[in-house]
Amino acid sequence: MNFIVLSSSGGTTFQAVIDRIADGFLTARCLGLVTDRADRGCIEKARKANLPARIVERKNGWTRDEYDRHLDHAILDLFDECRLSQKNPLCHPEVRAGLIACIGWMWLLSPWFVRTWRGRILNVHPALLPLHPGRHPHEEVLATCEKESGMTIHWVDEGVDTGPIIVQKKCSVLPGDTLETLKTRVQELEKEWYPKVLQKLDTQPSETVSP
């Protein structure tokens, strides 16, 4: 299975995926990164791993649909590069035969984009969905004094973190937790489980991932 990473973050979990490819655990093949800004930390991680990166900056006046069409073009460009490269003879001839792995992608994808890639967009959300969807889950968990949090890996649909759940993992919310300490604890789950889910989808694509 080939996949492309979509990220607008520092790339902590992306680095975990890169590391599991390097140590041989993950046999799925990352073909590159698409991000939204040149100063994102994920770009440096891609370059250190010799992965190509594409930057699709948001322009004033673009609708979500217009931006996502440019995003789609960048993703297809990476798949095309794979198919045309002598170094990547195993790339599938179909244009959209790979997976999009959203790792720290902070923008809602348009209905057009989701329809175009339906069933092939994976996302990780740092909360126990359906609780706390959206962009500020850690703040909400702390504000509501919850005793546990965690992460959810799910397929993307047209809603906000409403797609079918693949796996969830929990962690405790400790007395005195701050935004950073909770975020770090949840990221440890993401770093462990995102590569595991990718590997499961690579080896048994029709199977559900066991908890």
Residues annotated catalytic, as ranges: 125
Beta-bridged to residue 185, according to DSSP, are none
Residues 6+ positions from 195 with CB-CB distance below 8 Å? 16, 17, 20, 25, 26
| Count of Cβ atoms closer than 10 Å to residue 90 Cβ | 8
How many Cα atoms sit within 13 Å of 14 on the Cβ side?
A: 33
Give the E-state strand segments of 11-120 in sequence order: 29-35, 53-55, 99-102
CA neighbor of 28 nearest in space, from 94, 101, 93, 118: 101
Residues 6+ positions from 68 with CB-CB distance below 8 Å? 109, 110, 112, 113
